[in-house]
Structure 1
Amino acid sequence: MENEMLKIFDQQYNQIGVATRDEVHRIGHWHEAFHCWFFSRKGEEEVIYLQIRSQLKKDYPNLLDITAAGHLLADETIKDGIREIEEEIGVEVSFDALISAGVYKYAVEKGNFIDKELAHIYLFETDLPLHAFTLQKEEVSGIVQVKLTDFYELWLGEKEEVNVQGFEIENTGNRILLNKTVNRTHFVPHERGYYEHMIKSIQKISAK
């Protein structure tokens, strides 16, 4: 996986070449990623679906993250990113059913790991029950839901903790139900502006 070839870009989003995934994160090249957030409207309350990253992941194991996401390879278009949804969480979705929330540029540094992403963000409204998800164990160990308003207040700093509910798969392969309280340290560290962008995009859809 570290030898996967990714397109790399300058600050103006002009492609300047290709590099291995390892080099991209070691040097800090801008690169493309596909992000898809599942959300559901339950009455007047929206909820979003979060994945729990597998403990096998090199980066940010066991943390809560985007419903489905991944890097776009050097020979892929944005539409090809939809493969991440079926691979990671076992849900088949048409690209035409996704709602674009634009491209968000952000950078995160953690030690020698530099992640400078051009994130193509998509939203997918669904009423899928949690038992409908089939997880790729190397990538994802669980799926949970959180109220959108709670999630927003968490990242605005108005709340320190929120409740999530869903399931996680044990090493034995059994699904165990989750109903627990989490805080910001339990999430992959996307910047606050990224979360605000995603949340406001969902709110615009729900207001229509």
Structure 2
Amino acid sequence: MTEWLQVFDHRGNPLDVKERTEVHFEGDWHETFQCWLYEMDADGQLYLFFQKRAADKAEFPSLYDISAAGHIEAGENIMQAGMREIDEELGISLWKEDLKSIGTYKEVLISDTLKDRELCRVYLSPYSAEKAFSLGKEVEDLVRVEINGFKQVLGGAKGSIEASSVIDNQKVRVGFRDFVPHDQAYYEFVIQAILEEVEKL
């Protein structure tokens, strides 16, 4: 099915509606919804949740990425897109009140197959163990990673850290190259917002 996206200029002003493949080929700015799940356990350890992209994904197959994310299609509002993506990828339902907006992050990802310029509408949501995840076909796993360890991997102080599957409790070691290559500043933006959020608890 053809996916149509609203494209924007670099200031965020809407322009045309284009087909997704064309948007990624030409490098047009477009909107995405991104939701990061996080958790503070009983010992005060803070965790970030990553989905493992399916091996047959066209871009960044088998790499760890944002908990749930996807394009905001032309005519959709952010919440409509967000609820759809969370349900499709993780198989859970969240309410608008479960999501905390932390703003828009402009990110550029260039690879051999695409020029991806995104206006990322980024949200946080606290993880609930009561939710029964049912992963969609585009997602191979959902894991949690301790935030301080992840920061050390980003900074090069550690080569790898433990990731624990929410689905089957299996543990794996993951390193820098196992994650989608978002800007380091993007990851820092998300982590700082989570730290500020948990300080309110």
TM-score by length of 2: 0.93
1:192 is aligned to 2:193: no
* Equivalence for 1:155: 154
Which amino acid in structure 2 is aligned with residue 114 of structure 1? K
3-state SS of 2:170 partner: strand
1:201 CA displacement: 0.3
* Equivalence for 1:64: 64
Identical counterparts, % of pairs: 35
Cα displacement string for residues 113-156 of structure 1 (whole angstroms, at most 9, x for unaligned residues): 11111000000012326x8210112x101111100111122212
Which amino acid in structure 2 is aligned with residue 20 of structure 1? E
1:160 CA displacement: 2.1
3-state SS of 1:132 partner: coil
RMSD across aligned C-alpha pairs, in angstroms? 1.5
1:23 CA displacement: 0.6
* Equivalence for 1:80: 80
Map 1:97-112; keep pairs closer than 5 Å. 97-112=98-113
Please say if residues 162 and 172 of structure 2, whose CA atoms lie closer than 8 Å, have aligned partners that are also in contact. yes
* Equivalence for 1:53: 53
Number of aligned residue pairs:
198
1:177 CA displacement: 4.5
Which amino acid in structure 2 is aligned with residue 16 of structure 1? L
3-state SS of 2:50 partner: strand
- Could you tell me which runs of 5 or more consecutive residues in structure 2 were left unpaired when the two chains were aligned: none
TM-score by length of 1: 0.90
- Could you tell me which runs of 5 or more consecutive residues in structure 1 were left unpaired when the two chains were aligned: 169-175
1:158 CA displacement: 2.4
Which deviates more from structure 2 when the two are superposed, residues 116-125 or residues 149-158?
149-158
* Equivalence for 2:115: 114
Please say if residues 33 and 78 of structure 2, whose CA atoms lie closer than 8 Å, have aligned partners that are also in contact. yes
Map 1:5-44; keep pairs closer than 5 Å. 5-42=4-41, 43-44=43-44
1:167 CA displacement: 5.7
How far apart are the structure 1 equivalents of 2:61 and 2:112?
16
